[in-house]
Amino acid sequence: MSAPVPEADVVLRRVTKAFGSVVAVNDLTLEIPRGIFLSLLGPSGCGKTTTLRLIAGFEQPSEGDVFIRGQRVNLVPAYRRDFSMVFQNFALFPHMTVTNNVAFGLRMRRIPRAEREARVREALALVHLAGFEDRYPKQLSGGQQQRVALARAIVVRPTVLLLDEPLGSLDKKLREEMQVELRQLQRAIGITAVFVTHDQEEALTLSDRVAVMNGGRIEQMGTPRELYERPATDFVANFLGVSNIFEGRIIGRQDGEARVAIGPIQVSVAWEPGLDAGGPVRVAVRPEKIRLGAPDEPGGLPARLRHVVYLGATTHFYLEGPDGGSLVVHVQNVSPDTALWTPGDKVSCHMEPRSVFVLRKG
Q: How far is the CB of 95 from other proteins (least distance, A)?
A: 5
* Binding of other proteins by 152 (CB under 8 A): yes
Q: Could you say which of 16, 31, 58, 117 contacts other proteins (CB under 8 A)?
A: 58
Determine, following the binding rule CB under 8 A, whether residue 156 of this chain makes contact with other proteins. yes
Q: Give the residue, chosen from 95, 138, 173, 361, that forms a contact with other proteins under the rule CB under 8 A.
A: 95
91 makes contact with other proteins (CB under 8 A): yes
Closest approach, Cβ 89 to other proteins, in A, equals 6
Q: Which of 71, 74, 184, 332 binds other proteins (CB under 8 A)?
A: 74
Residues 90 and 143: beta-carbon distance below 8 Å: no
Among 84, 146, 243, 244, binds other proteins (CB under 8 A): 84
Shortest CB 85 distance to other proteins, Å? 4
287 binds other proteins (CB under 8 A): no
**Based on CB atoms, which residue is closest to other proteins, 58 or 318?**
58
Q: Is 79 in the site for other proteins (CB under 8 A)?
A: yes
Q: Which range in 103-111, 231-239, 242-250, 275-283 contacts other proteins by CB under 8 A?
A: 103-111
- Scan residues 330-349 and list those touching other proteins (CB under 8 A): none
For the segment 38-57, give every residue that binds other proteins (CB under 8 A). 56
Q: How many CB atoms lie within 10 A of CB 62?
A: 13
* Count of chain residues binding other proteins (CB under 8 A): 28
Going by C-beta distance under 8 Å and a sequence separation of 6 or more, which residues neighbour residue 353? 268
Interaction between residue 19 and other proteins (CB under 8 A): no
How far is residue 36's CA from residue 163's CA, in Å, rounded to a whole number? Answer: 13
138 binds other proteins (CB under 8 A): no
Does the footprint of other proteins cover residue 136 (CB under 8 A)?
no
Q: Which of 63, 30, 76, 57 is nearest to 192 (CA)?
A: 30
Determine the distance from the C-alpha atom of residue 167 to the mean position of all C-alpha atoms in its chain, rounded to a whole number: 14
Among the listed residues 134, 104, 138, the one whose alpha carbon sits nearest the alpha carbon of residue 119: 104
What minimum distance in Å lies between the beta carbon of 72 and other proteins? 11
Counting beta carbons within 10 angstroms of the beta carbon of residue 94, is it exposed (0 to 12), middle (13 to 18) or buried (19 or more)? Answer: exposed
Q: How far apart are CA 267 and CA 85, in angstroms?
A: 47
Candidates 3, 5, 108, 277; binder of other proteins (CB under 8 A) is: 108
Q: With contact defined as beta carbons under 8 Å apart, do 270 and 357 qualify?
A: yes
| 132 touches 153 (CB < 8 A) | no
* β partners of residue 37: 193
Give the whole-angstrom CA distance, residue 106 versus residue 157: 10
Beta carbons of 216 and 42 less than 8 angstroms apart:
no
Q: Which are the contacts of 55, defined by CB distance < 8 A and separation ≥ 6? A: 10, 12, 66, 68, 83, 160, 162, 194
Which spans of this chain sit near other proteins (rule: CB under 8 A)?
56, 58, 60, 74-75, 77-80, 83-85, 87-89, 91-95, 104-105, 108-109, 152-153, 156, 162
